[in-house]
Structure 1
Amino acid sequence: MYGLLLESIYEYLKQTYGENVAEEIRKRANIHQHSFVTHKVYSETLVPRMGDAAAAITGTPKDELMEQFGVAFVTFVGHYGYDRVLRVLGRHMRDFLNGLDNLHEYLRFSYAKLKPPSFFCENETKEGLTLHYRSKRKGFLHYVKGQIKTVGSLFYNTHVEIDVISHRETEDLTHVVFQLKFDNYAYREPVEKKDITQTTKLHVRSAVFFDVFPFHLVFNRDMLIRSAGKGLEQVLEGLEGRQVDTEFVMMRPLLEFTWKNVMSHTNNVFELQSVNETKAQRQQDLDDLSDDDVCSFQTETASRRTRVSRASRRISYAQSQDCGTIYSQPAHDQVYNSARTSYLRLKGQMMFMEEWDSILFLGTPIMENLDVMFTTGLYINDLSMHDSSRDLVLAGTQQSAELKLALDQEQQKNKKLEETMRKLDAEMKKTDSLLYQMIPKSVADRLRKGEPAMNTCEVFESVTILFSDVVGFTTICSQITPMQVVGMLNAMYTEFDQLSEKNQVYKVETIGDAYMVVAGAPIKTKYHAHHICNMAFDMLDAMSNLTDPSTGGNMRIRVGVHSGAVVAGVVGMKMPRYCLFGDTVNTASRMESTGEAMKLHVSETTKQFISSGDGYVLQERGSIQVKGKGSMKTYWLMGIPGHDPAKYAELARRGSHMPPLENGKHVNGFDTLGPEDAELDGLESDKVSLVSPPPVPGDCAFVPPLLSIDHKPAEPSEDDVKSGLKSPCPNKDQGKAVNVDDQRVKPTDVFAKGAGKGNGSHYSNNSLNVAMKKVGNAEKAHLIPDTPTGLHV
């Protein structure tokens, strides 16, 4: 199938449904070409696949689409000048229909590999005629209807109604009988011939007649060849006396080569092709064989000829009616499975000669170029001088070389274009992926169709929103490098993004350590609260895989959830974003900020959407004061099937370095911790305990309890002895101070010898005091004296 037909269909789809829909149809049909070269041959399956894909996407019935494809083809070929050919095929509509096969013959000059259908008219009246359509292709019935109707209206100003009388398909052939109804005013009833006056007839001797047509054939009712032209005898020896249907196969019309079928279709162009190779080709084959192979070659030739003869006689149309018998494609392929240049092809007219009671075939050899002529053993002077055969061969050779060069150049350009389009497709997919991360797919597709951004804004009466953030994020950032911060957040958000796809929620945005997702927008669902709660517990589970770079423990998050109505849509021009607006967003944020580490804090509104029957376990928290909302009754969502609440409590304890829990409370308020719990790497600590801050002079106030590290007394250094100091000074990295709220002092904040007025023999830790300022434990830092057993902070 040539690209001219495919390009016309693709152009119709783009003009009718838009380029985006046409592109979607192309992809659904699994067609990789973005455009089609008119003179290039493509797969026969492309048109059916395009029809099926277009019907599925547009919702238009396939039969209706195929008819529209046929209509579009007639107008499309006008771009290439073929409309002028359609105009001169006949003076009237009946002339066009009777000459359809001639149209395809003309097209063969430009489309050498054309496999055209066959048309035959019968039962013509003033009201119309019967048209037989035969083709090796299936599924083009409605396509042909669209073509015929459009030709009638465009070129002959004639309205044509088409009814399908019969439609039969075999494995290799489609035969359709149409009844065409139109104003056939040009038709004239046949008048019986009568000799009114006696006139003298000019007789021509048969020898002269046959000399004028060197490629003629005369065969009788028994299909025996009575005469063959001199040109035929030059390339095919011994034709006279043989069966014409065993020496030739009728390529067109698509019928069995019988007397009846020929007589019924004398107004058609006939094409015959020899069963045997030409004499010149056979001689070439023999020259290429060794003496031992000649005998087997001749035997195989005779055997093949016998098989063809038998196959030709067995060919029948299983359900033949008045349409005649159709040949079988497999048998046809057996005959023509070799190169086309090895056989002689003839095109011409069949005429019944009453005087001879025989049919005369006036043929002309089909020579595509001079190489084909040389291969078949013909020469220019073998062709008739009374028609244009010689001119066509010579002129065609010149034009063929020019066309081949132009075609090669076009194919090279098309190949580059296809490669560029494939690269463009890959880039488009990347662009779409980025776009769909910024804007939901359903909304982005609307914007790409040209809808204004304001049209995407709509009210969602019921959605559920989740906010989360990292506990102690500011302190963590102050103790690690910026690249570590980026790595930490990237690891966390990668986990969360994968979970959002799993739980069918949409990530709205991330700001710093805050993560916001929504369910119920832009795709509405009554299970929005369930999706969000499942997402929340998956996020808590994921924290066991995420490490706090500043402590080595697990990261901890707070999660808040609220349900309600929002307005959602795309805002912005340069960086458009899908945003949510409304009090629901603010309340969900407050649920997060008033929550606790590794707990899921939900509002009473969200509680109403989830049922304990679904396995959701809720614990009433009570009424809390929420900024901008006043007192609100909230709940802890303790668990759902597949999630262990105790796991989150353990993660919260390990992440904050809190003392062990017993019945949900710290043992004795404060308890002794081991060095591994405080993660005091490199410290030779006897014990680490929680103590209240010691009283210090002045206005220094340490509000939270601090970890106290008791040291083994360190020996004074030589410098200390020389200075007259008797109390030991702790070695470098021997002590750290840690706030219970997980605000630790950097490892570099070590105890150092004090300096300054009034210090006397006391040791001080200036860097520790500075650290205390940073965490907000003191308005003013004071020097902290040492004790005999170590330093207590």
Structure 2
Amino acid sequence: MFGFVHESMRQLVVRRYGDELWKEVLKRAGLENIKENMNHYYQDSDTYQLIDSVAALTKISREQVWEMYGAFLIEYTMEIGWEELLRNMSPNIKGFLDNLDSLHYFIDHVVYKANLRGPSFRCEENTDGSIILHYITSRPGLYPIVKGVLNEVARRVFNIEISLAITGRTQRSVQMATGERIEEHVIFLIKTIHSKGGSRSGSNTSMVSNTVINLTDKTLQMTASEFSFALPYHLVFDEHCRLIQFGRELMNHIPKELLKVGTPIMRIFEINRPHIPFDFDNICNFINAVFVLQVKASPSNMRRKRESMENIGGDKNNGTFTHEQHLKLKGQMLLLSDQKSLIYICSPYVTSISELMEYDMRLTAIPLHDATRDLILLNQQRLADIEVHLQLDENNEQLEKVTKELEFERTKTESVLMSILPPTIANHLINNEHIEAREFEHATVMFSDVPNFHSILSHSHPKDVVQMLNDLFHRFDRLVAMHKVYKVETVCDSYMTVGGIPDQVNEHAERICHVAIGMLWEARLVSEPVGENPVQIRIGINTGPIIAGVVTMKMPRYCLFGETVCLASCLEMNGIPGKIQCSEKSYKYAMQTGRFDFKCRGRVNIKGRGTMETYFLYRSLNKSVWEIIGRERDISKNSIDGYEELENGVYYSEQQATVIHPAGSDNSKSCTVS
């Protein structure tokens, strides 16, 4: 069904039951992922599923939903600009019903260009003023819509109350050109119950005028040729549906051998609308309907067919039958005074220049008095407007898509910036703010590495080495985030962290010391690729003034500069596996805000800087290992604070801790000063 049905049903449900129920309806019907479009044609099964969902969730029957929809349909169409048309279709309800077919046809084929299979309506007036309405549709089960529509039209448009009774309902199988289909015929009896003040229908529901027009001269003051010129597309046929008279323009679209007086009209035309057999009685029954007839064969079509027959046995390509558009006529059937003839007053059914050209016609083929001329010209402008609107809609959809993609890319970019830069610095970059380099008077820097990394590298598969480092650094990243310090960078097996930059805090040394203890523990949980031994790391920590800033904008990095950084790196290089070596400044700053167990290592020779006193960090007296690493303790296996396990995992003697390793030994590397 047409998308307008879905949209008007959405309006009904949202207004009466709320937006949340409509979402539930779509979800239940399996239509939540389908984009709503008034100009889209939905499968009937989708619409029926939608109605069943509304019925189930509102706990009313399907028939009640359709009747409620029919009443709301009038209310909604009047809201969106059709009120004036509905009020001026007819002065009475019978006239309204007589014109429903033409209204359906106009909306389907002219307004929305949908070419849908609409219902047919036929009225009969009884002597008591009641009306018998015949409703014929190819969609069984929709008759409650008619009840809702008629009750609402009577109340809103004609200011009357009516009663509706179904006196008959039958279904039959009809063979059409497109195949067999089920057709439902429902008969309604309509009676006026009460006419309110100001009723437009008066005392008689139908208000049929019986005035007879008296002509002084019964002779038609024009010849048959002049009549054929004035109405160039008309047809007159008798009660046996044989051609009596026709307009001159039809000779350009119908073969001459068919366009003769006495030819059965069924040989020339087929009825496209209404969907009835082509016979005199059926046409009289639907005399108020819009009739669309289509020519069965054009002159050029017949000519090619004859040529094809003549060329049998010759070149088969010469006999190829080419399909072309056959003329469609749209108009009205009128019963003539002899009650035995019908005249079909019509015009070519064309609404645009392109359709006109499909029939090999020009605008001059349409009489000047025919409104089809104006319709073609107006519709041409309308089609241009529609094309612009469609292009705008397409551009809007594309713009929305690009906007979403840009938003996604922006989010990814911001996420990357947040991962490589401190959040405060990243936010400045995102807001296009200039970032000046800053000097921080006090900050604590930590370096860690795997001392036997080169040995591991030479005896392991590269993939295993990368996997080991990923596991190790992933654990370190968790600790860094947990203790709110900043990871500056990782280079090969080296991991650099800083506390107190760019967000200054007094306990920067304390935080770094806690991270260092956690890193020692987490490293034990990672195995070397060869030998499956736990990974051992060494750590160096130093505190002092630092210069920090963003370097390059294309691939920004937050870099640290100064002697403090270089000395921290040297402390790590001159450290001992499984130990945390701190400078004297770091020791003092850590003890100002926290409580730790430090032991003096003695004076250590630092290449290029002479000797300096350093300290080994063993434990925090304020926090257990479990608090530092953010993991639960296994009561059956682990000690209360975890430091016993941490110390037992170190594979060197206590005496080694006091050894001063000269520069250039196996555990030393040169230190580059930034």
Check if 1:742 corresponds to 2:640: no
Q: Name the structure 1 match of 2:235.
A: 217
Deviation at 1:418, TM superposition (A): 9.5
What's the CA shift string for 1:124-158, capped at 9, x where partnerless? 44442011112222332112221121111111112
SS at match of 1:227: strand
The aligned amino acid for 1:173 is: E
1:423–1:364 distance in 2 versus 1, CA, 3 Å: farther
Once the two structures are superposed, residues 43-90 of structure 1 have per-residue CA deviations (whole angstroms, 9 ceiling, x without a partner) of 232321111111222212111111111222222223431122111111
Cα separation, 2, equivalents of 1:420 and 1:752: 60
Instruction: Give the TM-score normalised by structure 2.
Output: 0.54
Distance 1:128 1:418 in 2: 58
Please say if residues 245 and 257 of structure 1, whose CA atoms lie closer than 8 Å, have aligned partners that are also in contact. Answer: yes
Q: Distance in 2 between matches of 1:137 and 1:419?
A: 42
In the alignment, is the contact (CA less than 8 A) between 1:89 and 1:103 conserved in 2?
Answer: no
> Whole-Å Cα distance in 1 between the matches of residues 45 and 398 of structure 2?
21
8 Å contact from structure 2 (residues 233, 249) kept in 1:
yes
In structure 1, the partner of 2:112 is 111
Retained in 2: the 8 A contact 1:71–1:146? yes
Alignment partners' CA distance in 2, 1:422 and 1:754: 59
Instruction: Tell me which amino acid in the other structure corresponds to 2:78.
Output: G
Distance change in 2, residues 1:140/1:484 (3 Å) = same
CA distance in structure 2 between the partners assigned to 1:481 and 1:199 by the alignment? 109
Out of 374, 381, 385, which is 1:398 matched to?
A: 381
Letter in 2 for 1:254: H
Which residues in structure 2 correspond to 1:176-255 (within 5 Å)?
176-182=186-192, 185-187=203-205, 199-204=216-221, 205-238=223-256, 239-240=259-260, 241-255=262-276
Deviations 1:305-326 (A, max 9, x none): xxxxxxxxxxxxxxxxxxxxxx
Check conservation: 2:130, 2:205, Cα contact below 8 A.
no
Counterpart CA distance in 1 for 2:406 and 2:3 is 22
Q: Given that residues 305 and 319 in structure 2 are in contact (C-alpha distance below 8 angstroms), is that contact kept between their aligned partners in structure 1? A: no
Residue matched to 2:350:
367
Letter in 2 for 1:159: E
Return closer, same or farther for 1:260/1:482 CA change in 2, 3 Å cut-off.
closer
Q: Percent identity?
A: 22
2:540 matched to which residue of 1? Answer: none
Structure 1 gap ranges (5+) = 302-337, 425-479, 488-547, 551-738, 756-764, 767-793
In the TM superposition, 1:653-668 aligns within 5 A as none
Separation in structure 1 between the aligned mates of residue 349 and residue 106 of structure 2, nearest angstrom = 12
List aligned pairs for 1:481-496, cutoff 5 A: 483=475
Aligned-partner SS, 2:10: helix
C-alpha RMSD over aligned residues: 4.2
* Amino acid in the other structure paired with 1:24: E
How far is 1:10 from its partner? 1.0
Q: CA deviation at 1:266?
A: 1.9
CA contact (8 A) 1:153 1:159 kept: yes
CA distance in 2, matches of 1:235, 1:481: 84
Counting matched residue pairs gives: 414
Following TM superposition, by how much is the alpha carbon of 1:4 offset from its aligned partner in structure 2, in angstroms? 1.7
Q: Which residue pairs with 2:621 in the alignment?
A: none
1:394, distance to aligned residue in structure 2 (A): 2.4
Letter in 2 for 1:207: S
CA distance in 1, matches of 2:653, 2:236: 128
Superposed, 1:445-456 pairs within 5 Å as none
Secondary structure at the aligned position of 2:182 is classed as: coil
Change (3 A) 1:72 1:282: farther
Judging changes above 3 Å, is the alpha-carbon distance between structure 1 residues 126 and 751 closer, same or farther for their aligned structure 2 residues?
Answer: closer
Query: Is 2:174 the partner of 1:172?
Result: no
Task: Show the counterpart of 2:361.
Answer: 378
Take 1:79 and 1:175, find their aligned partners in 2: how far apart are those partners? Answer: 31
1:72 aligns with: 72
Offset at 1:33? 5.3
Report the Cα distance in structure 2 between the residues aligned to 1:105 and 1:252, rounded to whole angstroms. 9
Q: Quick one: distance in 2 between partners of 1:421 and 1:385? A: 53
Q: Which residue identity is paired with 1:748? A: E
Q: In the TM superposition, what is the alpha-carbon distance from 1:355 to its structure 2 partner?
A: 4.8
- Matched-pair contact (CA < 8 Å) for 2:93–2:206: no
The 5 Å alignment of 1:70-469 reads 70-107=70-107, 108-115=109-116, 116-169=118-171, 170=173, 171-182=181-192, 185-187=203-205, 199-204=216-221, 205-238=223-256, 239-240=259-260, 241-276=262-297, 278-279=298-299, 292-293=315-316, 296-297=319-320, 342-355=325-338, 357-410=340-393, 413=396
User: Aligned AA for 1:172?
Assistant: I
Unaligned runs of 5+ in 2: 174-180, 194-200, 408-471, 480-523, 527-633, 659-674
Query: Normalized against structure 1, the TM-score is what?
Result: 0.46
Q: Give the corresponding residue for 1:518.
A: none
> SS of the residue aligned with 1:251?
strand
Distance (Å, rounded) in 1 between the aligned partners of 2:190 and 2:337: 32
Write the deviation string for residues 560-595 of structure 1: whole angstroms up to 9, x where unpaired: xxxxxxxxxxxxxxxxxxxxxxxxxxxxxxxxxxxx
> Does the 8 Å CA contact 1:3/1:37 hold for their aligned counterparts?
yes
Distance in 1, matches of 2:376 and 2:325, equals 18
User: Which residue identity is paired with 1:81?
Assistant: G
Residue pair 1:126, 1:187 contacting (<8 A) in 2 also: no
Given that residues 3 and 36 in structure 1 are in contact (C-alpha distance below 8 angstroms), is that contact kept between their aligned partners in structure 2? yes
Structure number with higher relative contact order (C-alpha < 8 Å, ≥ 6 residues apart) = 2
Question: Is this contact kept in 2: 1:152–1:160, CA < 8 A?
Answer: yes
Indicate if the aligned counterparts of 1:33 and 1:418 stay in contact, CA closer than 8 A: no
Q: Which amino acid aligns with 1:232?
A: L
CA shift for structure 1 position 293:
3.9
For residue 345 of structure 1, what is the amino acid of its counterpart?
K
| Letter aligned with residue 394 of structure 1 | L
SS in 2 for 1:179: strand
Secondary structure of the structure 2 residue equivalent to 1:159: strand
C-alpha contact 1:122 1:131 (8 A) present in aligned 2? yes
Tell me, in whole angstroms, the C-alpha distance in 1 between the residues paired with 2:183 and 2:340. Answer: 32
1:222 deviates by: 2.1
Q: CA deviation at 1:419?
A: 11
Q: CA deviation at 1:417?
A: 6.7
What secondary structure sits across from 1:81 in the alignment?
helix
- 1:595-606 equivalent positions in 2, closer than 5 A: none
3-state secondary structure, aligned to 1:746 = helix
Change (3 A) 1:3 1:214: same
Distance 2:121 2:357 in 1: 33
For 1:172, what is the secondary structure of its paired residue? strand
Distance change (3 Å), C-alpha of 1:746 and 1:80: same
Between stretches 116-125 and 342-351, larger displacement belongs to: 116-125
Residue aligned with 2:51, SS: helix
**Contact 2:168-2:186 within 8 A present in 1 as well:** yes
Q: Distance in 1 between matches of 2:243 and 2:277?
A: 17
Q: Say whether the 8 Å CA contact 2:308–2:318 is kept in structure 1.
A: no
Paired residue for 1:54? 54
Partner Cα separation in structure 2 for residue 33 and residue 70 of structure 1: 26
Q: Structure 2 vs 1, CA of residues 413 and 72 (structure 1 numbering), >3 Å: closer, same or farther?
A: farther
Instruction: Report if the CA contact (8 A) 1:68-1:143 is conserved.
Output: yes
Contact 2:122 2:285 in 1 (8 A): no
Report if aligned partners of 1:37, 1:411 keep a CA contact under 8 Å in 2: no
Distance 1:43 1:263 in 2: 34
Give 1:146's aligned amino acid. G
Instruction: Provide the C-alpha distance between the structure 2 equivalents of 1:199 and 1:371, rounded to a whole number of angstroms.
Output: 46
Aligned-pair CA distance for 1:210: 2.2
State the Cα distance separating 1:214 from its structure 2 match.
Answer: 0.6
3-state SS of the aligned residue for 1:173? strand
Paired residue type of 1:177: I
3-state SS of the aligned residue for 2:110?
coil
Instruction: Give yes or no for contact 1:37–1:414 (8 Å, CA) kept in 2.
Output: no
Aligned to 1:430: none
Cα offset, 1:295, TM superposition: 6.8
